[in-house]
């Protein structure tokens, strides 16, 4: 049979379940966009910038069962999208990046947009695919999807030359799609037995859960209840365990963890880590002390023993591994004597004390973060999605906003890319139109991608964007203030949030220290429910530092050589004394 490459591509995308694509059409993909427009299943979304489109695709994968998909032009479209692709790559988020390509049926070089896209994408994706014929289109897209979603997920890149998209070619068949089953190591039973032995002799077991445990929330809950073990999560994993559970401690557990986590994890003799790589942010710049009896569960074998040695490493899909582990544990009665009976009370008291410490902080004329998040918890719906950007507000949210059982928290993590939250909120709303979606973003990060609010307006998407506005790139400016007594290139100016709202067709609200946050939140929710995006200017108080910031600064300072410490301290003292 004869089909154009564009027809074949859309057929394959429909078979793997794609619902939306994100990008901007250009001369190398107009035929593909025309075929997408014919699809009754796939809706192509035009964005204002491919970088924003990549963050939208990332969010689709995080909040739904559909894979986020980009359709971009070669060269500039791909390089614009690179930040969002990189975020997905380091955060373990599946994504299909489909890109037009130069003609492969000409003998001429220096074609428009000609560059080695595969070399460029090599460090940002799990794999790249280059379609050479019509016969390649469907099987390559199927293989790309399997690669993106198997083992540790991540983005993949597929280049389809423009001539193949445009022209008809003969294909022998249009095969159906068969998804690979979840993975578990063939040799895992021996590792399960090691893990069970460690758990049975543990007096103070604890659990550390990352994003990789998202598909195993039910099993995680069962394990925690059976062991009576306190649970900490990574930043990215805040959604994997409900904040209302009495054994939930919050983010982190070492010197950079919240007090509840530090207190509950003290003297742990067995740590069960699920779906985390022990990367820099979750460990507070590697400041955590990991017990000798570490049970590490992850789908990627390279993660085991990478940063901390594991007494038992269990490789496989977290849900399947925990099913095996729970079956092997039985009811875990036996002769085991736990020393965790007092832990729920310690956690509850630590959380209350930490919240009160923040509420008692004098924010003067600005918005107290603890009051903001307490009101936000009351105003957001029980199944709301909260997208957070990179900056001081990230860790304020992580420490002060309790993520509920049905709520979803998404944020940039290991790639740590500013500009994520606004487009991610839009992508989340596209994927989950019936759920309330809000974003928290610093004023600096907001300026990077705020024009994507046009995409929200064009599509009638009522997202709420809370802009934490203090006039600085605060996370870095605060880091500059103590050692340097100056803030080069971190002071913002001239940002009129009401003007941005007007320009993008959004509603504007203001929240100051004299406001009751709940009032503005309720009004924003009411307006957003009509399909209109809302920008809320929050005059936030950043003067009090989070536990994460204080702990991580101390950890990094201790790690510096003595001479460097002396130089930093001397320069800081000199500049602060002499101004």
- Cα–Cα distance for residue pair 115/168, rounded to 1 Å: 25
> Do 152 and 217 reside in the same domain of the chain?
no
Give pLDDT tens digits for 429-460.
999 999 999 999 999 999 999 999 999 999 99
Give a yes or no: residue 561 inside a domain.
Answer: no
Q: Which two tokens stand for residue 347?
A: 């956690």
Same domain, 266 and 125: no
**Structural domain count of the chain:** 3
Least Cα distance to 386 among 364, 411, 358 occurs for 411
Split at pLDDT 50, 70, 90, the class of 332 is: low
**Residue tagged 């035929």 (tokens):** 31
Same domain, 394 and 309: no
Q: What is the mean pLDDT of residues 47-74?
A: 98
Mean pLDDT of the chain: 93
- Place 473 in a pLDDT band, splitting at 50, 70 and 90: low
Residues 441 and 488 in one domain: yes
Taking the CA of residue 401 as centre, how many other CA atoms within 13 Å lie in the half-sphere pointing to its CB?
31
Are residues 23 and 142 located together in one domain of the fold? yes
Residues 337 and 407 both lie in one domain: no
Closest to 155 measured CA to CA, from 82, 234, 211, 215: 82
- Binned at pLDDT 50, 70 and 90, residue 334 comes out as very low
Shared-domain flag, residues 456 and 376: yes
Within a domain: residue 356? Answer: no
Residue 237 has pLDDT above 80, yes or no: yes
Query: Final residue of a domain: which of 120, 140, 170?
Result: 170
DSSP string, 441-465: EEHHHHHHHGGGHHHHHHTT---EE
CATH of the domain at 409: 3.40.50.970
Same domain, 368 and 473: yes
Check residue 116 and give its pLDDT.
95
Asked, for residue 551, whether it belongs to a domain, the answer is no
Residue 576 reports pLDDT greater than 80: no
Domain extent at residue 460: 362-544
* Six token digits for residue 138: 């469907």
Residues 6+ apart with CB under 8 A from 469: 443, 495, 497, 537, 538, 539, 540
My answer on whether 319 and 422 are in the same domain is no
Q: Of 137, 135, 134, 156, whose CA–CA distance to 145 is shortest?
A: 156
> Would strands 2-4 and 168-170 be described as parallel, antiparallel, or unpaired?
antiparallel
For residue 140, what are its two tokens? 């390559």
């Amino acid at each position: 049979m004869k089909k154009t490459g564009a027809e074949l591509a859309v057929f394959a995308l429909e078979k793997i379940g794609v619902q939306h694509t994100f990008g901007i059409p250009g001369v190398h993909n107009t035929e593909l966009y025309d075929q997408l427009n014919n699809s009754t299943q796939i809706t192509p979304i035009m964005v204002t910038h491919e970088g924003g489109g990549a963050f939208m695709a990332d969010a689709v994968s995080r909040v739904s069962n559909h894979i986020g998909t980009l359709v971009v032009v070669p060269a500039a479209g791909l390089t614009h999208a690179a930040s969002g692709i990189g975020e997905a790559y380091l955060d373990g988020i599946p994504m299909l990046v489909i890109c037009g390509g130069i003609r492969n049926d000409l003998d001429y070089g220096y074609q428009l947009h000609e560059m080695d896209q595969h070399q460029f994408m090599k460090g940002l994706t799990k794999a790249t695919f280059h379609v050479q014929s019509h016969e390649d289109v469907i099987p390559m897209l199927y293989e790309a999807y399997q690669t993106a979603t198997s083992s540790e997920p991540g983005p993949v890149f597929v280049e389809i030359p423009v001539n193949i998209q445009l022209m008809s070619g003969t294909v022998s068949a249009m095969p159906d799609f068969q998804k690979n089953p979840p993975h578990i190591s063939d040799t895992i039973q021996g590792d399960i037995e090691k893990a069970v032995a460690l758990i049975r002799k543990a007096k103070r077991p604890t659990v550390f859960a990352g994003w990789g445990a998202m598909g195993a929330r039910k099993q995680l809950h069962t394990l925690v209840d059976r062991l009576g073990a306190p649970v900490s999560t990574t930043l990215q994993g805040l959604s994997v365990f409900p904040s209302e559970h009495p054994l939930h401690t919050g983010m982190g557990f070492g010197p950079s963890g919240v007090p509840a986590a530090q207190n509950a994890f003290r003297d742990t003799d067995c740590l069960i880590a699920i779906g985390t790589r022990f990367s820099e942010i979750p460990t507070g710049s590697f400041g955590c002390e990991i017990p000798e009896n570490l049970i590490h569960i992850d789908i990627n074998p390279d993660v085991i023993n990478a940063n901390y040695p594991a007494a038992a490493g269990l490789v496989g899909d977290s849900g399947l591994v925990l099913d095996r582990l729970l079956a092997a544990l039985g009811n875990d009665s036996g002769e085991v004597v736990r020393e965790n009976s007092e832990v729920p009370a310690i956690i509850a008291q630590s959380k209350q004390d930490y919240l009160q410490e923040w509420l008692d902080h004098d924010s003067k004329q600005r918005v107290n973060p603890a009051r903001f998040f307490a009101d936000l918890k009351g105003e957001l719906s029980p199944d709301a999605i909260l997208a957070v950007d990179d900056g001081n507000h990230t860790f304020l949210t992580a420490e002060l906003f309790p993520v509920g059982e049905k709520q979803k928290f998404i944020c940039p993590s290991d790639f740590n890319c500013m500009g994520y939250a606004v487009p991610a909120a839009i992508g989340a709303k596209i994927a989950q139109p019936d759920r309330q979606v809000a974003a928290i973003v610093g004023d600096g990060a907001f300026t990077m991608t705020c024009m994507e609010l046009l995409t929200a307006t064009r599509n009638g998407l009522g997202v709420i964007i809370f802009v934490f506005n203090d006039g600085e790139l605060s996370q870095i400016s605060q880091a500059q203030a103590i050692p340097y007594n100056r803030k080069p290139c971190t002071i913002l100016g001239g940002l009129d949030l009401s003007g941005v709202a007007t320009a993008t067709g959004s509603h504007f609200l203001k929240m100051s220290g004299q406001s009751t946050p709940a009032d503005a939140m309720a009004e924003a929710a009411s307006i957003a429910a009509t399909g209109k995006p809302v920008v809320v200017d929050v005059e936030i108080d950043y003067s009090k530092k989070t536990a994460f910031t204080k702990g991580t600064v101390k950890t990094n300072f201790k790690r510096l050589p003595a001479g460097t410490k002396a130089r930093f301290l001397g320069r800081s003292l000199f500049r602060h004394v002499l101004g």
